[in-house]
Structure 1
Amino acid sequence: MPDSVAESACAKRADLNWLLHRAAQKLGAIAQEAAAGHGVTPRGQLVLGALANADFPRTQLALGQALAVDKTTLTAELDRLERAGLIVRKPDPHDRRVRVPALTERGRAVQAEVARLQSEAEEEFTAELAPDELHLLRGLLERLIASAHRPDHGSCL
């Protein structure tokens, strides 16, 4: 079946979970391409962005909780970022058993460039929406995410 026919048949699905997942898949593929060009995964970019925008240093545990990424997944991602020279992990001055990840200069540069590319991709992905529609979509998604209807668990990526 040609892709356009398959897309058309799939687009007729009405359940919200499928629609949100499919939109996230499409945007995620673009984001992955932007990040991969710099040797970073989308999850890695999420971590780099959190470190770049942090108001204060966070332990690995606090970073994982803030990003809704489990300890094992985060540790593996931090290992990759450290091997790539994008972060360093320093002992916490209050508890030397705990590590605090921090960006290197190279990590800061890569994060900024990937963020720029992902922002351009997001603009292209949402180009068919009017500015007020995009504002409404973002607001609605933020409300759904912040909703207390269900526990917040699992990895955001």
Structure 2
Amino acid sequence: MLPDVDLESQPLKPCAAVDDPFSSDLTWLMHRALKVLSDDFDAACRDNGLRDMRDTLVLATAADGTPRTQIEIANTLGLDKSTLMSIVDRLENEGLMVREADPSNRRIRIPRTTPEGQAVLDRALAGRDKAVSTTLATFQPDDVTALRTLLWQIATAQ
């Protein structure tokens, strides 16, 4: 049973689930932080002719020197394979990516970033880095390192 509270005489208190850094729901905080950073990342992508951060991540993964199948890229990035296929199809149509046959199995395709795709990728990543630096400008370098470390541990938890 809840205690009787005189709502007229009590000041409204902030919702502890979202209004206090020490009691806010952790998943909500991460969701909001993701929104801020991903909106900035998406804007940097759009400024450079890409749709959103997924385009950049697909281009970057295909350009990192490790040959990956489309399914491996989807798994690496946590994308549904049909979502990845539509992204790769679009990037290929725009001349930013090609699919090459795997030398060991010609039925398997290895997406690769084209030189034009690499140039777009480099500009998008520079825009992302500038936006993140601006957002995190008040953080100490050790705080950024700690944040990255903790997020990595969460993102790669099995």
- TM class, shorter-length: 0.7 to 0.9
Amino acid at match of 2:136: T
Deviation at 1:100, TM superposition (A): 1.0
TM-score by length of 1: 0.82
Give 1:142 shift: 1.3
- Give 1:11 shift: 4.9
Q: How does 1:1-150 map to 2 (within 5 A)?
A: 11-12=18-19, 14-40=24-50, 41-54=52-65, 56-148=66-158
Higher helix share: 1
One-letter amino acid matched to 1:94: S
How far has the Cα of 1:147 moved from its partner? Answer: 2.2
In 2, distance between residues paired with 1:80 and 1:89?
Answer: 12
Q: CA deviation at 1:15?
A: 0.4
Looking at structure 2, the residues matched to 144 and 58 of structure 1 have their Cα atoms a distance apart, in angstroms, of: 24
User: What amino acid is the match of 2:151?
Assistant: L
Consecutive unaligned residues of structure 1, counting only runs of 5 or more, are 1-7, 149-157
State the SS of the aligned residue for 1:88: strand
Secondary structure at the residue paired with 1:127?
coil
- Structure 2: tracts of 5 or more residues without a match: 1-13
The 1-side partners of 2:109 and 2:55 are apart by 17
- Return structure 1 stretches of 4+ with deviation > 6 angstroms: none
- 1:135 CA drift (Å): 1.4
Count of residue pairs brought into register by the alignment: 140
2:100, 2:112 within 8 Å by CA — same for their partners in 1? yes
State the SS of the aligned residue for 1:129: coil
CA distance in 2, matches of 1:45, 1:84: 14
The alpha carbon displacement at 1:106 in A equals: 0.2
Give aligned-pair identity as a percent.
Answer: 36
- Contact 2:49–2:120 (CA<8 Å) still a contact in 1? no
- The structure, 1 or 2, with the larger RCO (C-alpha pairs under 8 Å, 6+ apart) is 1
TM-score, length-scaled by structure 2: 0.82
Q: Is the radius of gyration larger for structure 1 or structure 2?
A: 2
